[in-house]
Amino acid sequence: MPAGAQQTESVTRDYTLGELMVAAAAREIGDGELVFVGMRLPMLAFLVAKRAHAPRAVGLYENGVIRETPSPELLYTMGDPPNLRGATQCSQMLEVMGLLQQGRVHVGFLGAAEVDRFGNLNSTWGHRNNQTIRLPGSGGACDIACLARRTVVLLAHERSRFRERVNHITSPGFGQGDSWRTAQGLPERTGPSALITTLGVLRFGSDGEAFLASVHPGVSVEDVLANTGWTLRVADKLLETPAPTTAELATMRELDPHHFWTR
């Protein structure tokens, strides 16, 4: 989208919020990169990236599957039979985790219930109506957050989820900022790269603190700030998140015609 092209509420959007987030996630994948794909929207984002701009990207899945061609059908889980047929390799969990720990994985995708100022994620203990609730837990999220060169997180942008400090770090971001990751012993040149939310995209400064890098079409900075539980920094050159292209939408709708993942 050209700079200054302001999309307003009155403009009819021919895509859903989920589709916008998938397109934004797909653009975090570079051609030829090794990608830890994860679940839900990122499964679709990987397929969109493969078709659109990253045909040589390689997908890694925690069950051991390594795939260079898009799955021929919509996936509900990474273990669905279409994701295994025609795979490059069906290896074991330790083998893909080994590639991750070696530093070979460029980008990993995660979801989370809560995030804080420094990109620390909580997916173990949530909050609802002042009660602590038990969530499913890490899965591979902690491993990806510790070991992938870049981590991209997709989550709903709500004040209750965007907290000054998460009270349980399931998956470490930049901790308390600055050189915290190094002090913990985490590998160099790893850490969160982007938070793709339902309102915009946040990135991280060299001090490890998140800032608002782009807002989605029709979303104001005030909307974002009001839904963030700390005083969020805003980029000097705030962008608008580019809308999905016709080709990206066509791929998403071919694979997910009933909007199971992209409502």
Residue 66 lies near another protein (rule: CB under 8 A): no
How many residues sit in the footprint of another protein (CB under 8 A)? 51
Stretch that binds another protein, among 13-21, 48-56, 94-102, 243-251 (CB under 8 A): 94-102
Q: Mark residue 40 as left, alpha or beta (left: phi above 0; alpha: psi -120 to 50; beta: remaining).
A: left
CA distance 62 to 39: 10
Q: Give me the least distance between CB of 231 and another protein, in Å please.
A: 24
Q: Give me the least distance between CB of 153 and another protein, in Å please.
A: 15
Q: Confirm whether 62 is a catalytic residue.
A: yes
For 233, the token pair is 């920094």
Q: Which residue has the tokens 């070696």?
A: 102
Q: Give me the least distance between CB of 169 and another protein, in Å please.
A: 5
Looking at residue 113, its amino acid is A
Q: Pick the catalytic residue from 19, 62, 240, 248.
A: 62
Q: In terms of residues, how long is the chain?
A: 263
- Closest to 202 in 3D by CA, of 141, 107, 76, 117: 117
Among 57, 58, 110, 142, binds another protein (CB under 8 A): 142
List binders of another protein among 24-63 (CB under 8 A): 39, 62-63
Give burial (CB, 10 Å; 0-12/13-18/19+) of 188.
exposed
List binders of another protein among 153-182 (CB under 8 A): 168-172, 175, 180-181
| Nearest to another protein of 170, 241 (CB atom) | 170
What angle, 0 to 180 degrees and rounded to 10, lies between the N-to-C axes of helices 246-255 and 17-26?
110
CA distance 89 to 190: 26
Residue 112 lies near another protein (rule: CB under 8 A): no
CA distance 148 to 34: 10
| Nearest to another protein of 105, 201 (CB atom) | 105
Among 76, 246, 247, 263, binds another protein (CB under 8 A): 76
Residue 119 lies near another protein (rule: CB under 8 A): no
∠ CA 252-257-258 to the nearest 5 degrees? Answer: 125
Interacting residue ranges for another protein, rule: CB under 8 A: 39, 62-65, 76-81, 84-86, 90-94, 97, 100-101, 124, 131-143, 145-147, 168-172, 175, 180-181, 184-187
